[in-house]
Chains A and B, each alone.
Chain A
Amino acid sequence: MSTEITIKIKQSWRTLTMVFALIAIWIIFQYATDGAFLQPRNLSNLFRQMTVTGVLAMGMVLIIVAGHIDLSVGSVVCFLGVALAMLMQKGVSPEIALLATVFIGVVISLIQGWLTAYQKVPAFIVTLAGMMVFRGLSMGVTAGVTIPLDDSWIKSFGSAYVPAVYGWVIAGVSVATFAWSRVRRRLSALRHHVAGGSSDFGMWAAILGGAALVGGFTATMNAYEGIPAPVLLMLALMVIFNFITTKTVFGRHVYAVGGSVEAAHLSGVNVRKVVLGNFLLMGVLTAVSAMILTARVESAQPDAGQLLELDAVASCVIGGTSLMGGKGTIAGALLGALVMESLNNGMSLANMEAFWQYVVKGLVLVVAVWLDVSSQKAR
C-alpha cells in the first residue's frame, strides 16, 4: 500500500515541481522588472501570447505519446496563415476562408500521417520534409511579401477580450463542473475500495485549489480588460483534448500504442488508424494556431512560425511528456507552454537582449528533462 502512495506522490511531484518552477520564474522576473511582470496587463499579454504555442502543444502531446513527432508545425502554421489571408483578400468570406484553412491543414497532416503510419516512413523524416516544403511554399506564394489580414471578426479576434461578466460566468461553471467531477471520482473510489491515492482531503484540496486558481485567474484577467478571446479558445480546446485523452477509447489507444506498440497491436488496437488520427487532430490545431497568430499580428508574414515546432515540443517535454512515448498530459503541455512563454515575456520585459531568450530556453529544456530522467533512475 505504501508503494502505491509513494508512486502517486512521485507522479504529482513532477507536476508540483513544475508549478513551483513556474512560480519561481515569476518571482524572479517580478524582481528583475521592478514589479512590472505581475501586473494584470502584462499577465494578460503573457497568456495571450502563449496561446499559439499552447494550442500546438496539445496536438503535439498526442503525437509524441504515440511515439512520433511533428517538426512541420511551424512551417505549416505560416503556410495556413498565408492561405487564410490570401483567401480573404480574394473576397472569400471569413467563415469559408477559415473552413478552407482548416481543410488544407487537415489534408497536409493526413498526408504526413499516412506516410508515417501506413508507409512506415519515420515521422521525423516526413515532418522534417514537411517543414522544408511548406516553408518554401510560403515564401513562394507570398513572393516574400507580408499579406495584410482584411478586416473581419477574425482580425478582431486576435485582440479581443471576453467581457468581465461572461468571464465570471464561465469561471463559475468551470469550477462547478470540476468540483462535481472530483466528487464523482471520490465516490467511485470509495465504492471500489481503491484506497491508494484518493482521500476526502485530496478531493477538497483539489476542489478548493482549482477554485482558487480559476478565481484568481479570472480576477487578474478582468482587472485588465477581461480574458483574452484566444485564451478562452485555448482553454476550451484544453477541456476537449483532456476529455479525448482521458475518457475516450481513442485516447486510451494512443497511450497503449506509445507504451508498447506490439502489445497494443496484439490486443486489437488499430495502430495505423490511431497514428493517423493523431495527425488529423494536429492538422486541425495547426489551423487554429495559424488563425490566432495571423489575427494577432494582423497579417500573414512569409517567415512566421520559425522554430515554433521546437517551442511546441519543448512545452510538451517540460510538461512531463516523454519522448520515448506512452507518457504525457494535456495540462502538462500547457503548463510547459506557460513556462516557455513566461521566460520569453519576462526576458523581453527585463530588456534582455533577444539572443538570451534562446540560450535560456535551451537550458531550461535540458534541465527539465535531466531532472525528470534522474528522478526516474532513483525509482
Chain B
Amino acid sequence: MASTANKVLELRGIIKEFPGVRALDGVMFDVCRGEIHALCGENGAGKSTLMKIISGLYAFGTYSGDLIVDEQVRKFANIKDSQQAGVAIVFQELSLVRELSVAENIFLGREPARYGVIDWDTVYAKTAALLSDLGFNINPHDRVGDLGIGQQQMVEIAKALALNAHILILDEPTSALSDTEIEVFLSMIRTLKTRGVACVLITHKLNEVFSVADRITVFRDGKSIASYAAKDVNEHRVISDMVGRELTDLYPRIQKSIGGPVLEVKNLTVPHPTVPGRDLIHDVSLAVRKGEILGIAGLMGSGRTEILMSVFGALHGGHSGSIKLEGETLNLRSPREAIAKGLALVSEDRKRYGLVLEDSVSRNISLASLNSMTKFGVLDDDGEMSIAKDYVRDLRIKTPGIDSQVKNLSGGNQQKVVLAKWMLTKPKVLFLDEPTRGIDVGARAEIYKIVGEMARQGVAVVMVSSELPEVLGLSDRVIVMCGGRVTGEFSRDEATQERIMAAATRFS
C-alpha cells in the first residue's frame, strides 16, 4: 500500500457533468512517485475526461472535487498551469506540427529568444541532449511528418519531458504502433520509471498492462471501481471489473425467421495506407443471413469500421479477398455501385458522413434515392414530400416539419433521418456503425425497434458497436475484432460480456 507521503497525484471525489450525463461520478484515483499506473475501462467509462481534468484542459471550476499534485490542491486554469506543476499529457491524437522539425516541435511555445530572435543553436543543442539522454535515436533536424508514428510518439514524450514533467499521462499510446515499436516503447517507460517519472497509462491492452504496470485502476460508467497491484490480479479479474454491468430491457424481442446467407466475405485483407507491413484488416471472413443481425464487437481501432467501408466500396486503396452478395461476386469501387446492389451504410459520424446538415429533412431522406424519384427526368417534389411525411410518421421523427433543417434536430432524430434515407433504398444488407452513439435512451429504444423491424422484414443487418449491452441485446450472432483480425465468434446464447471483452483485448 502506498503511504500518503509518496503520492505525486491524487484525485478525490471528482464529479464532472455534461448536459444530461454525469461523466465522472465521485472518482478516487492516486499515483505514487515513480509508479507505472495503468487505467483501464471501456470506451466512455470516463478515462479521457479524467485526463482532461488532470491536464487542465477542463479548468478548475468546471468540476467538483480535489485535484492534488505533490500534496498541494491545484486549481489549473489551463494546460500551461498543469505543465508548470509538472504534469504532461500525450494524447492519442498527437499534437505535433508535421511540417516543423523535431526540435521546433519540442520547443514550440517556449523558444529561447533574445529580443524576439530565436536562439536556434540552443534549441538544437538542447534537443539533441534530451533525445540522447532518453535513448531516442532521432535527429533533431528531421521533419516530424517524415517520421514514423512510433518515432512521432517518442518526440511527443520528449516534448513532455523537456517540460520537466514528473507525471506523464499517456492516452492509448500504443494504438498506432507496430510490435517492435511497442517493445521499444515499453522499455522506455521502464527507463522513465527509474528516473522517478510517474506514468499513467490509459490502455485497453491488458498484456502491456501486465508487462509494465505496478498498479491498475479500473473505471466503469464514470466511477473508479477497483484499484490493485498488478501482481495481485490477473486478466480475468480486470475484465470482469471493466464490464460488470446489468443488461437493461431495451431490446425488442422479435419473432422472425432467419434465411440463407446474403453476404459472404472471405479472407478480406486491407493493407494500412501509410504504415508498411501492417494491415488494417487481416484475413477477415464473415457471413450474414437474411433477417439476421450480426454484431461486430471490439474496441476502437480494431478495424470494424474498415470492414464496413471496404465492403461498401468507400475505402480507397484495394483489398484482397472475396465479397459475395447472394452468390454474386462483388467488385465495388464506389458507394454508388454498392447502393445499386442493395447495400446501405449508416456511418459512424452522422453529422459528417450521414447528413447534409443545412438541408431539410425531406431532402436528406431522398438523397440516396433521387434517381427513382423522377417523372420524365423531372424530380417529383410531390412524391418526395409524401415519402418524407410517411417516414416522419412511421419512425416518429420529431421535427417541426419536413422542410426543417436537420441540423436543428436532436441526435436521435437525426439518426432516424439517416435510417429513413437508407430504408428508402430498400437494401438487402444494412451496415450500421455505432448506430446509437451520442443518443439518449429513449431514442435508442426506438432505433432498436426500427432495426429489429427491418431484420424481421428480411434485411441482413451488420452492426458495429462498442456498447456491449447493445451488441448482446440485439445480435443473433456476434463476432469480435481485435487488431484487424477476428478473434471470436459467438451465437446469441454463447455471448457474454466477459467472453467478448476477452476476445477484444486478446492482442495488440
Q: A192-B386, A266-B354 are in contact. Are A249 and B374 (CB under 8 A)?
A: yes
Closest residue of chain B to A322 (Cβ to Cβ) is: B358
Choose from A195, A255, A263 the contact partner of B355 (Cβ within 8 Å): A263
- Complex: how many Å from CA A1 to CA B404? 10
Give a binary string over A1-34; 1 marks a CB under 8 Å from any B CB, 0 the rest: 1011001000000000000000000000000000
- Complex: how many Å from CA A246 to CA B384? 13
B353 touches A268 (CB 8 A): no
Choose from A1, A259, A262, A327 the contact partner of B353 (Cβ within 8 Å): A262
B374 touches A196 (CB 8 A): no
Q: Is A90 close to B, CB under 8 A?
A: no
B379 touches A264 (CB 8 A): no
Q: Is A39 close to B, CB under 8 A?
A: no
B335 touches A259 (CB 8 A): no
A188 touches B403 (CB 8 A): no
Closest residue of chain A to B352 (Cβ to Cβ) is: A262
Enumerate 21 A-B pairs (CB-CB under 8 Å) in ascending A order.
A1-B400, A4-B400, A188-B382, A192-B386, A194-B403, A196-B403, A248-B377, A252-B363, A252-B367, A253-B370, A255-B359, A256-B359, A256-B363, A256-B367, A259-B358, A263-B355, A264-B356, A265-B334, A268-B336, A269-B367, A270-B336
Closest residue of chain B to A257 (Cβ to Cβ) is: B356
- Complex: how many Å from CA A268 to CA B341? 11
Q: A249-B370, A267-B367, A268-B368 are in contact. Are A260 and B335 (CB under 8 A)?
A: no
A256 partner residues in chain B, CB cutoff 8 A = 356, 359, 363, 367
Further contacts, 10 of them, CB under 8 A, given A194-B403, A256-B367: A1-B401, A3-B400, A3-B408, A7-B405, A192-B385, A193-B389, A196-B401, A259-B356, A263-B353, A266-B312
Closest residue of chain B to A191 (Cβ to Cβ) is: B382
A136 partner residues in chain B, CB cutoff 8 A = none
Instruction: Looking at the assembled complex, report how far the CB atom of A303 sits from the nearest CB atom of chain B, in whole angstroms.
Output: 40
Instruction: Looking at the assembled complex, report how far the CB atom of B422 sits from the nearest CB atom of chain A, in whole angstroms.
Output: 9
Choose from B347, B367, B378, B385 the contact partner of A248 (Cβ within 8 Å): B378
A192 partner residues in chain B, CB cutoff 8 A = 382, 385-386, 389, 402
Give a binary string over A253-283; 1 marks a CB under 8 Å from any B CB, 0 the rest: 1011001101111111110000000000000
A246 partner residues in chain B, CB cutoff 8 A = 379
Give a binary string over B378-417; 1 marks a CB under 8 Å from any A CB, 0 the rest: 1101100110010000000000111111001000000000
Closest residue of chain B to A246 (Cβ to Cβ) is: B379
Residues of B participating in the A interface, judged by any CB pair closer than 8 Å: 312, 314, 334-336, 338-340, 345, 347, 352-359, 363, 366-368, 370-371, 373-374, 377-379, 381-382, 385-386, 389, 400-405, 408, 421
B336 touches A269 (CB 8 A): yes
- Complex: how many Å from CA A3 to CA B338? 38
Residues of A participating in the B interface, judged by any CB pair closer than 8 Å: 1, 3-4, 7, 188, 191-197, 246-249, 252-253, 255-256, 259-260, 262-270, 326-327
A326 touches B356 (CB 8 A): yes
Q: A263-B355, A266-B353, A267-B335 are in contact. Are A4 and B404 (CB under 8 A)?
A: yes
Closest residue of chain A to B388 (Cβ to Cβ) is: A192
- Complex: how many Å from CA A256 to CA B3? 62
A188 partner residues in chain B, CB cutoff 8 A = 381-382, 385
B385 touches A259 (CB 8 A): no
B403 partner residues in chain A, CB cutoff 8 A = 4, 194, 196-197
Closest 9 CB pairs of A and B: A259-B356, A268-B339, A267-B368, A268-B336, A249-B370, A267-B367, A260-B356, A192-B385, A4-B400
A265 partner residues in chain B, CB cutoff 8 A = 314, 334-335
- Complex: how many Å from CA A326 to CA B355? 13
- Complex: how many Å from CA A263 to CA B355? 6
Choose from A193, A253, A270 the contact partner of B334 (Cβ within 8 Å): A270
